[in-house]
C-alpha cells in the first residue's frame, strides 16, 4: 500500500485526541516542565499560511523538546475581542459575537488538521465571560494600585475605526488595523501608567533570550535619555523657562529658545508680548494641525518670535530671543527647547529661515585652527570653543561639568526623560470587555465591586461605532444605568470597552489554570509553568503585545500576585511568507496560498515539513509549490523504502536510544552524524538544515536498503517524528509498537562513531616520496591537492613550477608531476 496521508493523518489525529497524550499534567514524574507558546490567533475566519508558518515549525520544536524528556505544555486559544474581528463582522453585516464564534469553530478544525501537540483542554477564548471576568478583575487591581486613571489627553483617533488607538498601534501615522490616517483629538480616556515602569522594562531586557533587533526596538520605543533640565530666567520678570537637553556642552551656542504653542509662559506674559495679535493668530493656525504633522520632518518648520520678552542664557548672561513654534510639543519633555543651530540640524534650518545667529561651540579638532564654515549642523562630539573656561574640554566631559557648574548655582538639575507614554486603553467600540467602572455625580469614579464581575457585554442590536466619541454601549439604557457602589445612589457605567491588547497581556497566565473560578490562576499552577520558556510569534508585535505583556507581568509582580517579573524568557520570530511570485501575499495580487488546499492535496506532514524546509525560519521567503512537491516526494520515498526493506519486529524491546548496528561503517557514521546535526539544528530552530541532513541520510540508505536493521528504522522514524508526526506514528506502529512514537526518547549519537577514520596520505613529487600527512580517509582529489600545494614543506619542492599532472590513489597517495617534460 502506498503513502496515503489523508488516511493516516485523520486516523492518528483521532488517536491522539482520544488517548489525550498531549494533555499537559502539572506534574509529570521527575520531568521538568517546559512551557512552549505560540501567539494565539485572532479568529479572523480562516487559518492562513502565515499562521501555519508560525505554528507548524514551532510544533516541531515542541515535539523535539518533549522527546528530549521535558514535560511540555503547548496551549492554544483565541484572541477573540477587538477591532480585527469586529471590523470584519461589520463588513459582512454579521453580529461580532456570531461572526467570532463561527470563525473559532472553523479555525479549531483547521488547527487540528495540522497535527500539533496542542493541549485543547487549556483553550482560552478572550470573549468568554469566564475569561473577561478576570480581564476586568485585573483592570480593578491596576486601578486600586494607582496604575489606571482617567484623563483628557490628546489621543490618536482613527476616523475609519471610530475609536482612539494607543501610540503603539499607530504605525507611520496610520491605524495599525485599517491603514487609515490617524488624527489627534482630545478625549477623556482611561490610561494605564506603563510609563512608571519605563526603567524596569528597560533593565529587564538584558536578561532575556530574545532577538537583539526586538530588544533594540523596545529600547528605542522606551527612549530613555539622560540629561539636564536647565532654567532660563526671563529678563525683568519672575518667570523662567525650563528646557531639557542631553547636550549641556553646547549651552554657549544657544542663540534662542523655542516654546510649544500650549506653553503657559505665553499666557503668563501676555501683556508683555508686543506682537500678541500675530502670535495669537499663529496659535490658532497650529491648533488645526495634527501632532504628527507638527513633528513631521518633511514639513517646513514655522514659528513666531515673542517680541518684548527675552530669556537669559544661564552660562554667559546673554539675552536670547524666544520663539513659539508648533514643532515643539507641550507633553514632550518640558514643552520648550534651547536651540543650538550650529549643532542641531532642525535648529539649523530654523535659524537659517529666520536669520538667527549660528554660533559654533564644538570643534571636531583641537587646537582649533579654523573652525569649518557650516552648511549644516555639526552634531558630533569634539572640543569646546568660545565657551569661556570650558574651552578645549572634550565635549563628553563638558556635558557633566557644565551641568554640575549650573547645578551649584541652582540653574540646572539632572533629569531622565522617556519617550514611552502612558497606554491609552479606552476604545469607543462595542466588541471588547467593558471597563468595570461606574460614575456617580456625588462620588466620582467608583470601581465595580469584585463580587459583581463580570460586567457582561450586553447583546445589543446596534453595535456599529457611533463616531461621536462614545461606544455603542452608551445607547443602551439598560447597560448604563446602575447604582453607585459607594453611596447607593443612581450612577452610570463606563461605556468604553478595553483595548484588546489587555486581553492578550495576560492570556499566557490563564493557560496555566484555565478553569479556575475563584482566581485568574492559582499561585501553585503559575509556579508550575511560568514564565514561558519559549514564545514563538511575529516580530510585528515588538512594541505592542510584547511590551504590554512585560508591563503586566511587572505590575502583577509588584502587586504580589505573581512571583516572576518577565513573561517570556525565550522569544523567537518566524519570518514572513511571501507568495509564489516573491511578493507579499494579498487577494488583489491573486498570490494567496490556501493551506487547506495544500493539506488536501499533499497532507499536513508534507506542508509542515515544507514550511520547515523552505528557508531559515527567522527569514521566511516565497512559498514555492514545486518545493512542496519535492517534500511530498521525499516522504513517499521514505515510505517506500520502509515497505521495501520490510523490517520485521524482531528487534522490538532493544534499549531505546541505542544506535543499533549498521553492517556498513560509513552508514553507521553518517547516521550518528545526522543525529548530532538534527539535534543541534532543531534546538537552534534551523529546521531547514536539519531536514537536509535527514535527506542525505535517506539518500545513502536507499542505496542499500537491505542493510537496515529494525533498530536503525526506529532511529530514522524518531528523527522524522517532529516534522511528519502522522507518518512517523504510522511507521512506528507498523514496527509493532503499541506506545506512541511521540512518547519515545530522542535518539542519542555516539561521539566516537562520528569521528571519521584517518589515514596517512603519501605525497610524491615526480614520483619521489616527499611527505606523509594525516587526512580523513574519504578525502577527495581536489581537497588533497589543495592541501599539498599549500603545505610549507612541499613548497620548496614545487618552487612555483607548474603542475602538469596529478595522480591520485584514494586512501593512499597523491603524486604531483612538475617541471619540463
Binding region for Zn ion (CB under 5 A): 158, 160-161, 175, 177-178, 180, 440, 442-443, 484, 486-487, 489
Number of Cβ atoms within 10 Å of the Cβ of 98: 11
> How many Å apart are CA 17 and CA 59, to the nearest integer?
16
Q: Which is nearer to Zn ion, 161 or 638 (CB)?
A: 161
What is each CA distance from 660 to 676, 679, 739, in whole angstroms?
A: 16, 18, 20
Q: Which is nearer to Zn ion, 236 or 540 (CB)?
A: 540
Q: Is 727 helix (H, G, I), strand (E, B) or coil?
A: helix
Rounded to a whole number of angstroms, the minimum distance from the CB of residue 47 to Zn ion is 24
The beta strands (E) that lie in 392-550 are given as: 412-417, 423-424, 426-427, 437-440, 444-447, 481-483, 490-493, 497-498, 532-537
Number of Cβ atoms within 10 Å of the Cβ of 389: 10
Q: Which is nearer to Zn ion, 90 or 358 (CB)?
A: 90
Q: Which is nearer to Zn ion, 177 or 247 (CB)?
A: 177
Rounded to a whole number of angstroms, the minimum distance from the CB of residue 432 to Zn ion is 14
Rounded to a whole number of angstroms, the minimum distance from the CB of residue 485 to Zn ion is 8
Q: Which residues pair with 595 in a beta bridge?
A: none
> How many Å apart are CA 522 and CA 516, to the nearest integer?
8
Closest CA to 279 of 306, 298, 243: 306
Number of Cβ atoms within 10 Å of the Cβ of 534: 20
With cell 513659539, the residue in question is 324
Rounded to a whole number of angstroms, the minimum distance from the CB of residue 290 to Zn ion is 15
Q: Which is nearer to Zn ion, 315 or 491 (CB)?
A: 491
> How many Å apart are CA 53 and CA 74, to the nearest integer?
16
Rounded to a whole number of angstroms, the minimum distance from the CB of residue 92 to Zn ion is 17
Rounded to a whole number of angstroms, the minimum distance from the CB of residue 158 to Zn ion is 3
Number of Cβ atoms within 10 Å of the Cβ of 141: 17
> How many Å apart are CA 388 and CA 27, to the nearest integer?
71
Rounded to a whole number of angstroms, the minimum distance from the CB of residue 143 to Zn ion is 16
Q: How far is CA 610 from the centre of its chain?
A: 24
Cell numbers found for residue 728: 512517523
Q: Are 539 and 618 in contact (CB under 8 A)?
A: no
Q: Which is nearer to Zn ion, 178 or 789 (CB)?
A: 178
Q: Which is nearer to Zn ion, 325 or 438 (CB)?
A: 438
Q: Which is nearer to Zn ion, 175 or 761 (CB)?
A: 175
Q: Is 812 helix (H, G, I), strand (E, B) or coil?
A: coil
Rounded to a whole number of angstroms, the minimum distance from the CB of residue 623 to Zn ion is 29
Rounded to a whole number of angstroms, the minimum distance from the CB of residue 544 to Zn ion is 14
Q: How far is CA 352 from the centre of its chain?
A: 42
Q: Which is nearer to Zn ion, 183 or 773 (CB)?
A: 183
595-602 vs 604-613: helix crossing angle, rounded to 10: 110
Collect all residues with Cβ–Cβ distance below 8 Å to 477 and sequence separation of at least 6: none
- Buried-state track 727-742, b at ≥16 Cβ within 10 A, e below 16: bbbbbbbebebeebbb
Rounded to a whole number of angstroms, the minimum distance from the CB of residue 438 to Zn ion is 8
Rounded to a whole number of angstroms, the minimum distance from the CB of residue 272 to Zn ion is 45
Q: Are 345 and 362 in contact (CB under 8 A)?
A: no
Q: Are 357 and 340 in contact (CB under 8 A)?
A: no
Measured on CA atoms in the order 109, 113, 114, 115, is the torsion positive or negative? positive
Q: Which is nearer to Zn ion, 171 or 754 (CB)?
A: 171
Rounded to a whole number of angstroms, the minimum distance from the CB of residue 440 to Zn ion is 3
What is each CA distance from 59 to 303, 306, 804, 806, in whole angstroms?
A: 57, 64, 56, 51
> How many Å apart are CA 594 and CA 431, to the nearest integer?
28
Q: Are 666 and 753 in contact (CB under 8 A)?
A: no
Rounded to a whole number of angstroms, the minimum distance from the CB of residue 182 to Zn ion is 8
> How many Å apart are CA 273 and CA 267, to the nearest integer?
10
Closest CA to 495 of 809, 55, 217, 189: 189
Rounded to a whole number of angstroms, the minimum distance from the CB of residue 4 to Zn ion is 47
Q: Which is nearer to Zn ion, 87 or 549 (CB)?
A: 87
Number of Cβ atoms within 10 Å of the Cβ of 649: 11
Q: Where on the phi/psi map is residue 30: left (φ > 0), alpha (ψ -120 to 50), or beta?
A: alpha
Rounded to a whole number of angstroms, the minimum distance from the CB of residue 490 to Zn ion is 9
Cell numbers found for residue 554: 511587572
Q: Which is nearer to Zn ion, 488 or 800 (CB)?
A: 488
Q: Which is nearer to Zn ion, 161 or 337 (CB)?
A: 161
Cell numbers found for residue 94: 454579521
Q: Are 300 and 311 in contact (CB under 8 A)?
A: no
Rounded to a whole number of angstroms, the minimum distance from the CB of residue 155 to Zn ion is 13
With cell 511571501, the residue in question is 578
Q: Are 402 and 362 in contact (CB under 8 A)?
A: no
Rounded to a whole number of angstroms, the minimum distance from the CB of residue 156 to Zn ion is 10
Rounded to a whole number of angstroms, the minimum distance from the CB of residue 298 to Zn ion is 23
Cell numbers found for residue 641: 523504502
Q: Which is nearer to Zn ion, 177 or 294 (CB)?
A: 177
Q: Which is nearer to Zn ion, 266 or 440 (CB)?
A: 440
Q: Which is nearer to Zn ion, 104 or 158 (CB)?
A: 158
Q: Which is nearer to Zn ion, 484 or 814 (CB)?
A: 484
Maximum alpha-carbon separation in the chain: 114
Exposed, middle or buried, 179 (CB in 10 Å: 0-12/13-18/19+)? Answer: exposed
Number of Cβ atoms within 10 Å of the Cβ of 559: 14
Q: Which is nearer to Zn ion, 245 or 426 (CB)?
A: 426
Amino acid at each position: 500500500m502506498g503513502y496515503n496521508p489523508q488516511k493516516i493523518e485523520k486516523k492518528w489525529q483521532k488517536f491522539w485526541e482520544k488517548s489525550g497524550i498531549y494533555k499537559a499534567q502539572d506534574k509529570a514524574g521527575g520531568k521538568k516542565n517546559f512551557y512552549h507558546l505560540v501567539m494565539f490567533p485572532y479568529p479572523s475566519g480562516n487559518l492562513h499560511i502565515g499562521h501555519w508558518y508560525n505554528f507548524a515549525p514551532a510544533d516541531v520544536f515542541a515535539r523535539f523538546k518533549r522527546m528530549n524528556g521535558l514535560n511540555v505544555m503547548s496551549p492554544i486559544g483565541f484572541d477573540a475581542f477587538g477591532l480585527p474581528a469586529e471590523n470584519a463582522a461589520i463588513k459582512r453585516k454579521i453580529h461580532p459575537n456570531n461572526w467570532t464564534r463561527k470563525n473559532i469553530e472553523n479555525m479549531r478544525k483547521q488547527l487540528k488538521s495540522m497535527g500539533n501537540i496542542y493541549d485543547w483542554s487549556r483553550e482560552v477564548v478572550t470573549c468568554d465571560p469566564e475569561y473577561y471576568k478576570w480581564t476586568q478583575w485585573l483592570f480593578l487591581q491596576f486601578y486600586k494600585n494607582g496604575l489606571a486613571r482617567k484623563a483628557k489627553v490628546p489621543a490618536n483617533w482613527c476616523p475609519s475605526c471610530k475609536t482612539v488607538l494607543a501610540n503603539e498601534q499607530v504605525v507611520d501615522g496610520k491605524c495599525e488595523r485599517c491603514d487609515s490616517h490617524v488624527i489627534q483629538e482630545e478625549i477623556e480616556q482611561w490610561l494605564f501608567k506603563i510609563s512608571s515602569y519605563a526603567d524596569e522594562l528597560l533593565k529587564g531586557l538584558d536578561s532575556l533570550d530574545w532577538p537583539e533587533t526586538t530588544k533594540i526596538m523596545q529600547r528605542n520605543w522606551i527612549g530613555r535619555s539622560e540629561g539636564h533640565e536647565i532654567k532660563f530666567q526671563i529678563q525683568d520678570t519672575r518667570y523662567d523657562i525650563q528646557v531639557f537637553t542631553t547636550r549641556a556642552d553646547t549651552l554657549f551656542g544657544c542663540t534662542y529658545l523655542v516654546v510649544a504653542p500650549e506653553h503657559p509662559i505665553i499666557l503668563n506674559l501676555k501683556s508683555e508680548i508686543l506682537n500678541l495679535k500675530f502670535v495669537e493668530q499663529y496659535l490658532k493656525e497650529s491648533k488645526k494641525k495634527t501632532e504628527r504633522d507638527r513633528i513631521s520632518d518633511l514639513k517646513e518648520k514655522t514659528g513666531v518670535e515673542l517680541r518684548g520678552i527675552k530669556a537669559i542664557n544661564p552660562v554667559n548672561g546673554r539675552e536670547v530671543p524666544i520663539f513659539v513654534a508648533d514643532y515643539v510639543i507641550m507633553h514632550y519633555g518640558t514643552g520648550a527647547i534651547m536651540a543650538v543651530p550650529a549643532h542641531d540640524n532642525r535648529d539649523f534650518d530654523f535659524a537659517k529661515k529666520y536669520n538667527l545667529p549660528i554660533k559654533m561651540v564644538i570643534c571636531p579638532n583641537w587646537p582649533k585652527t579654523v573652525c569649518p564654515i557650516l552648511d549644516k549642523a555639526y552634531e558630533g562630539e569634539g572640543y569646546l570653543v568660545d565657551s569661556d573656561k570650558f574651552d578645549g574640554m572634550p565635549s563628553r566631559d563638558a556635558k557633566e561639568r557644565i551641568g554640575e557648574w549650573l547645578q551649584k548655582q541652582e540653574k540646572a538639575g539632572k533629569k531622565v526623560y522617556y519617550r514611552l507614554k502612558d497606554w491609552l486603553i479606552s476604545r469607543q467600540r462595542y466588541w471588547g470587555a467593558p471597563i468595570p467602572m461606574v460614575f456617580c455625580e456625588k462620588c466620582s469614579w467608583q470601581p465595580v465591586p469584585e463580587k459583581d464581575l463580570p460586567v457582561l457585554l450586553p447583546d445589543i442590536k446596534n453595535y456599529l461605532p457611533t463616531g461621536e466619541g462614545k461606544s455603542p454601549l452608551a445607547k443602551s439604557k439598560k447597560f448604563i444605568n446602575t447604582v453607585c457602589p459607594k453611596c447607593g445612589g443612581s450612577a452610570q457605567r463606563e461605556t468604553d470597552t478595553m483595548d484588546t491588547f489587555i486581553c492578550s497581556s495576560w492570556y499566557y497566565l490563564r493557560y496555566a489554570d484555565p478553569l479556575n473560578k475563584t482566581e485568574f490562576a492559582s499561585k501553585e499552577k503559575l509556579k508550575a509553568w511560568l514564565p514561558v520558556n519559549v514564545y514563538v510569534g511575529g516580530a510585528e508585535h515588538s512594541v505592542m503585545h510584547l511590551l504590554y505583556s512585560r508591563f503586566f507581568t511587572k505590575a502583577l509582580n509588584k502587586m504580589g500576585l505573581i512571583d516572576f517579573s518577565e513573561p517570556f524568557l525565550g522569544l523567537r520570530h518566524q519570518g514572513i511568507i511571501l507568495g509564489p511570485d516573491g511578493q507579499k501575499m494579498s487577494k488583489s495580487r491573486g498570490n494567496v496560498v490556501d493551506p487547506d488546499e495544500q493539506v488536501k492535496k499533499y497532507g499536513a506532514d508534507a506542508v509542515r515539513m515544507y514550511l520547515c524546509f523552505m528557508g531559515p525560519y527567522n527569514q521566511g521567503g516565497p512559498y514555492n509549490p514545486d518545493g512542496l512537491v519535492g517534500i511530498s516526494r521525499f516522504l513517499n520515498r521514505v515510505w517506500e523504502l520502509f515497505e521495501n526493506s520490510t523490517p520485521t519486529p524482531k528487534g522490538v524491546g532493544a534499549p531505546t536510544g541505542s544506535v543499533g548496528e549498521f553492517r556498513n561503517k560509513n552508514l553507521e557514521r553518517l547516521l550518528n552524524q545526522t543525529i548530532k546535526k538534527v539535534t543541534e539544528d532543531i534546538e537552534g530552530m534551523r529546521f531547514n538544515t536539519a531536514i537536509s541532513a535527514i535527506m542525505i541520510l535517506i539518500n545513502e540508505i536507499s542505496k542499500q536498503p537491505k542493510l537496515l536493521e529494525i533498530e536503525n528504522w526506529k532511529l530514522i522514524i524518531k528523527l522524522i517524528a517532529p516534522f511528519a508526526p502522522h507518518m512517523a506514528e504510522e511507521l512506528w506502529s507498523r514496527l509493532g509498537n503499541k506506545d506512541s512514537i511521540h512518547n519515545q526518547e530522542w535518539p542519542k549519537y555516539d561521539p566516537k562513531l562520528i569521528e571519521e577514520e584517518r589515514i596517512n596520505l603519501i605525497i610524491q613529487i615526480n614520483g619521489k616520496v616527499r611527505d606523509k600527512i594525516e587526512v580523513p580517509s574519504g578525502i577527495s582529489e581536489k581537497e588533497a591537492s589543495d592541501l599539498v600545494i599549500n603545505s610549507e614543506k612541499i613548497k620548496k619542492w614545487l618552487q612555483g613550477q607548474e603542475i602538469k599532472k596529478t595522480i591520485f590513489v584514494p586512501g593512499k597517495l597523491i603524486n604531483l608531476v612538475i617541471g619540463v617534460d
